[in-house]
Structure 1
Amino acid sequence: MNLTEMLLSNDINEFKLPEKELEIKRLSALYKQAFIIRFRAIRPDEEEEIQRDCMTITKDGVEVDSSKMKYLTAARCMLDPDIKNKDLQNKFKAPNFMELLKKLFLIGEITSVYDEIQELSGYGKNKVEEVKNS
């Protein structure tokens, strides 16, 4: 069976984006119970949109706001807690989901989530393997 036939023979629902859970230990200690967030891999179209939103073209080239990229990626991929929930935003006096993320998580925590999202999305070692013909 060639790859086209293989793809045609499977259910497209099998292409669901991978998900992962991480415990935020600082918040677990604060709430005295496990604070486990859930997020998913990022789709290529989402990543392209976020990259466009984080780039500024200057006379010297292109600048990328890496902090904003991390927050936007985490926001787009976070499944639980629902940071787009208006009641949650109001509770923390955050005018939008980005400000809620900044109130809930330290930058190091967001960086860890961002790194995990990148790993889930296929970046990193051992994601593809060269086939060697002997």
Structure 2
Amino acid sequence: MDSTPHPELNHTARGAGVVGLGAIALIHLLDLQGKLSETPYLGIAYIGLIVGCVIAAGMLVRGDVRRGWLLGGGLAAATLVGYAVNRTLGMPSATDDIGNWLEPLGLASVFVEACVALLAAGELLAFRRHATPTTRTAAPERQPARV
């Protein structure tokens, strides 16, 4: 086992994750009104993302760290994929952003989402490294030796 602290004790990563998730929520809150009026289904997805980011940040704060990273990292990665689809193929009834890769709010979104997704992946790998052998695979029970 390595000498790094258990990922639940990595307060720096957890703090960065909380700030990153807050930034993702804020970026989408700033764009929410336009999305609700242009493409309501994307506006509803934004609301779901915002709520999910707040929940994941809360998990990281209160100590439900592994599930917080799973939720937060998953949301960040899914949002990155959605951004790429929106900028390449477009979404139903939303093709105005195809090719619009340099919009400032979009760039901020990609940056923060990539940071959170990578941080979450690193922290989840750390959980795996710190897992005891019995939590990785079920070890057979040892029977006492018979004399």
TM-score, with normalisation over the residues of structure 1? 0.31
Higher strand share: 1
Give the greater-gyration-radius structure (CA): 2
> Whose RCO is larger (CA < 8 A, sep 6+)?
2
What is the TM-score with the length of structure 2 in the denominator? 0.29
